[in-house]
Chains A and B, each alone.
Chain A
Amino acid sequence: MPHLLGFYLPRQGKLRLQKWYVPLSDKEKKKITRELVQTVLARKPKMCSFLEWRDLKIVYKRYASLYFCCAIEDQDNELITLEIIHRYVELLDKYFGSVCELDIIFNFEKAYFILDEFLLGGEAQETSKKNVLKAIEQADLLQEVRSLATA
């Protein structure tokens, strides 16, 4: 299954987002992310977007100053994972309006919210861009409401 292990954006090694779909200790997570960041940042531009790492496959793509990486299992489709990454970036772009790294830094919680409307347990829950954005919009409005008991 596409059981994404982590979905994070390192840039010069600084993680801006990470989402884990398997339970690991903080120490293990740190170790893994350090290793992965090193490996991905060492890749040259001419290399392909996939690499083997332990018993998983890493799919990564660079957008401006950010690398988006996914760890998938052996039987998963790498090419469609690239599309998943792309879809997420498109969602961020639509939401923030020409998203840049600063948007993600200052609104990290929103980046997570969007991710959680797009993926659940590592799988895409909604394949329509419009629907994901609509749901986020509605949820954002709900934040304005004083109390859900009266909503």
Chain B
Amino acid sequence: MPAPIRLRELIRTIRTARTQAEEREMIQKECAAIRSSFREEDNTYRCRNVAKLLYMHMLGYPAHFGQLECLKLIASQKFTDKRIGYLGAMLLLDERQDVHLLMTNCIKNDLNHSTQYVQGLALCTLGCMGSSEMCRDLAGEVEKLLKTSNSYLRKKAALCAVHVIRKVPELMEMFLPATKNLLSEKNHGVLHTSVVLLTEMCERSPDMLSHFRKLVPQLVRILKNLIMSGYSPEHDVSGISDPFLQVRILRLLRILGKGDDDSSEAMNDILAQVATNTETSKNVGNAILYETVLTIMDIKSESGLRVLAINILGRFLLNNDKNIRYVALTSLLKTVQTDHNAVQRHRSTIVDCLKDLDVSIKRRAMELSFALVNGNNIRGMMKELLYFLDSCDPDFKADCASGIFLAAEKYAPSKRWHIDTIMRVLTTAGSYVRDDSVPNLIQLITNSVEMHAYTVQRLYKALLDDISQQPLVQVASWCIGEYGDLLVSGQCEEEEPIQVSEDEVLDVLEGLLVSNLSTPVTRGYSLTAIMKLSTRFSSLNRIKKVVSIYGSSIDVELQQRAVEYNALFKKYDHMRPALLERMPIMEKTGTNGPAEIVQTNGETESTILDTKHLPSITQPASQANDLLDLLGGNDVVPVIQTTVPTKPASAGGELLDLLGDLSLTGGPTPTPAPSVPMSQPPFLLDGLTSQPLFNDIAAVIPPMTAYNKNGLKIEFTFERSNPNPNIAVITIHATNSTEADMTEFVFQAAVPKVCSFPSSSTVYGEL
């Protein structure tokens, strides 16, 4: 049989292939040849064949049939064979392969070979991909080599030990004695790998960490020598002596100094020295400075040093090299919480980075900017951030918008500014704001009583321009529904009032209903808004017409609303004004942590939120919209004032069920509430608590009208029972305002399992 072709020959041939198919054909042919050569157990050319196989494997073709051949090569006595064999093992024989373990014996032998380069091959292979079993078997050999005086082997053994420890952490102890004088080596290779080994051990074990703390002085000394010593050609990189070793030592110092005063103090000087003396014209110097800054920030360094570190980062921000800027922003982000004031000084540079071309830099600059916003700089920062929102990539817009809302909420200098800012966000990035921003904004607007006219006017104008951004449209329709009267009366103080007629307003709202751009949710909003205007405008007929049209809408949600509103016009017209009243102010009060809640049911607990965060609804946005819709246009008079009590959460279950049970056809006699489902009461109170309206337990719970329909009005009043504050007493007043008697009035109460009733739960009587 002719000799198999040489590796280079094969490579040349394959590269002449013009198509993928041609290449595949060549490869298949060669593989077949190699396979038969393997079958013949040809020792001479095994190495060449495996090498070719490895090349083909690199191109993406299967090479598993060469695995065993690699083992044979490793066992050979020719160095060439071993070299290719070990390479093949590293490429083809990772620990997931069955034959992986068969290598163990060969490696063991080679670890003890007389030629250091063979030992080196074995150490390298073991250290790159040895399995846990292999590591367990061979750890002893590695440990032995760690103590050798041959620095070529010692450095490899150290890194091999690192791998062993990663794979089998329990074996860490066994390497401890060998580490004794690792740092006294002069050889940089050994020093570097020893530091890596020590780092690994310290990171894995607090005991090791305390044990190795005593090395700090030695490490400091080594670092000092590196900096102070003159030019050393062997390790020099752009004028800096062995930057790899410097960085490694700095990192180990970081780990050793963290949380330890003495160690931190011992390294203060050298850190200051490195920070001030390192040449910064090239990347390599900056790499060292970077590591130094990270170390300074992590250990217990004195404040002067910390300021020095932050200033270095500030200088990095001005560096032409974008990599340096990137790294600076990342580090500043990590330190902004602890060293806020120092970072503030670099605010303008950070803000400039918002205009950088690189996406990663922009993102970091944005995050950092938000972290730096405070009461003093809010106006200036917001200008920059809004500009950024205008021009940034869509990926950023949602995060940026949320960040702006948060910042505005925390630091708004005035209500008008706040509303203007929100308007700006909605008009520029309206489609990207998160779903929960809509109810939050509505609440904000509701609470800014003096700004109602101004807000509704601005929103109206925005709608005239653009109805494609749903969050904007939803907020606008809601406001128009609420404050439409202010709009047409031209009452705005803050800016020039516009002349708008009722018909124009209704045109706009109706336009939303029919537009393709409006989502079903938006349509719901606009229908409700139109309905609300029936008590604020005088064009009743027009509104009635619109509402009745949608009574046969295909969209079930719209249809339901329209039918209900129709009913409101027809049968319950006397209720309409009260129901469609202005929304009361929804206040945010402080929230208590869940631990302090005495009696809760599932819902309240899950919706308790910290006022610091933008309240996020646990239910999808549509339910929250339904909430507002319910409050706006349903039977319950929104007497729910300042706070939401805990107890009525359970009452709410009954409440809602009362409502739910009373179908919209309505009946003359109210049927009593049947047993309340134990499931979460939907919508009403959940939606309410989506604003963090959580009551202070001690506060009084205001009375609430639970039901008011058809002449039957039921009110709940609440009291804490004096002896036992865990019990709330609900007094129910039922009044019959019709002329007829209501007979067979049955009241039953049921509560979720968390609460309990003291006595019988059924009341019979006549009203």
A interface, CB within 8 angstroms of B: 1, 15-21, 23-25, 30, 44, 46-52, 77-80, 82-84, 87, 105-106, 108-109, 112-113, 116-117, 120-121, 123-131, 135, 138-139, 142-143, 145-149, 151
Contact = CB atoms under 8 A, between A and B. Distances in A.
B358 A121 contact: no
Contacts of B160: 120-121
Given A78-B327, A147-B77, A116 B124 contact: yes
Given A48-B323, A105-B11, A125 B290 contact: no
A15 B60 CA distance: 9
Contacts of A15: 58
Given A82-B323, A109-B87, A125 B291 contact: no
B762 interface: no
B189 interface: yes
B121 to A, nearest CB: 8
User: Interface of chain B, helix or strand or loop or mixed?
Assistant: helix
A120 B156 CA distance: 7
B123 A120 contact: yes
B360 A50 contact: yes
Contacts of B243: 80, 83
Give the 3 A-B CB pairs with smallest separation, nearest first: A79-B287, A48-B322, A120-B159
Interface stretch (B191-199, B462-470, B488-496, B579-587): B191-199
17 contacts: A1-B196, A19-B90, A48-B360, A77-B291, A78-B326, A79-B283, A80-B244, A83-B284, A109-B7, A116-B90, A120-B156, A123-B159, A124-B244, A126-B155, A148-B77, A148-B78, A148-B115
A127 B58 CA distance: 28
B72 interface: no
A2 to B, nearest CB: 9
A120 to B, nearest CB: 4
A23 B129 contact: yes
A77 B287 contact: yes
Contacts of B284: 79-80, 83
Contact of A121 (B94, B131, B159): B159
A143 B83 contact: yes
A133 to B, nearest CB: 11
A75 to B, nearest CB: 9
Contact of B87 (A21, A83, A112): A112
B424 interface: no
B358 A47 contact: yes
Contacts of A131: 189, 234
A63 to B, nearest CB: 15
A26 to B, nearest CB: 8
A125 B244 contact: no
Contacts of A30: 60
Size bracket, chain B contacts = 35 or more
Contacts of A87: 237
Given A15-B58, A139-B79, A1 B128 contact: no
Given A128-B188, A148-B118, A48 B358 contact: yes
Nearest to B129: A23
A20 B96 CA distance: 13
Contact of A120 (B15, B124, B234, B322): B124
Nearest to A126: B189
Interface in B80-127: 80, 82-84, 87, 90, 94-96, 113-115, 117-118, 120, 123-124, 127
B598 interface: no
Contacts of B82: 148
A79 B358 CA distance: 17
A125 B155 contact: yes
Interface string B216-249: 0000000000000000001101000011110100
B51 interface: yes
B436 interface: no
B283 A125 contact: no
A80 B291 contact: yes
Interface in B114-170: 114-115, 117-118, 120, 123-124, 127-129, 131, 152, 155-156, 159-160, 162-163
A146 B77 CA distance: 9
Contact of A130 (B114, B193, B234, B247): B234
Contact of B283 (A51, A82, A121, A127): A82
B323 A50 contact: yes
Contact of B325 (A16, A44, A48, A82): A48
Contacts of B359: 47
Contacts of B163: 121
B331 to A, nearest CB: 11
Contact of A23 (B84, B94, B291): B94
Given A23-B131, A78-B323, 20 more contacts: A20-B94, A47-B359, A79-B283, A79-B323, A80-B247, A80-B288, A82-B323, A121-B159, A121-B162, A123-B196, A125-B155, A126-B155, A127-B242, A128-B189, A135-B152, A142-B115, A142-B117, A147-B77, A148-B82, A151-B114
B637 interface: no
Contacts of B358: 46-48
Contact of A135 (B58, B87, B117, B242): B117
B357 interface: yes
B106 to A, nearest CB: 13
A23 B95 contact: yes
A48 B326 contact: yes
A139 B95 CA distance: 27
A101 B323 CA distance: 26
Interface centre among A20, A135, A143 (most CB of B within 10 A): A143
Contacts of A147: 77-78
A16 B57 CA distance: 11
B78 A21 contact: no
Interface centre among B79, B120, B129, B163 (most CB of A within 10 A): B79
B505 interface: no
Contact of A83 (B15, B77, B114, B244): B244
A112 B84 CA distance: 10
A139 B237 contact: no
Nearest to B152: A135
Contacts of B96: 23, 25
Nearest to A44: B357
B127 A120 contact: yes
Contact of A125 (B83, B87, B159): B159
Contacts of B564: none
A80 B287 contact: yes
Contacts of A142: 79, 115, 117
A1 B200 CA distance: 8
B192 A83 contact: no
Given A83-B244, A143-B80, A50 B117 contact: no
Nearest to A148: B77
A111 to B, nearest CB: 11
B84 A109 contact: yes
Nearest to B54: A109
B55 interface: yes
A29 to B, nearest CB: 10
Contacts of A83: 237, 243-244, 283-284, 287
A117 B121 CA distance: 9
B8 interface: yes
A125 B194 CA distance: 10
Contacts of A145: 79
A126 to B, nearest CB: 4
B286 interface: yes
A121 B114 CA distance: 23
A82 B155 contact: no
Nearest to A136: B117
Nearest to B97: A23
Contact of B83 (A46, A113, A123): A113
A143 B78 CA distance: 7
A148 B200 CA distance: 35
Nearest to B84: A109
B361 interface: yes
Contacts of A79: 283-284, 286-287, 290, 323-324, 327
Nearest to B158: A125
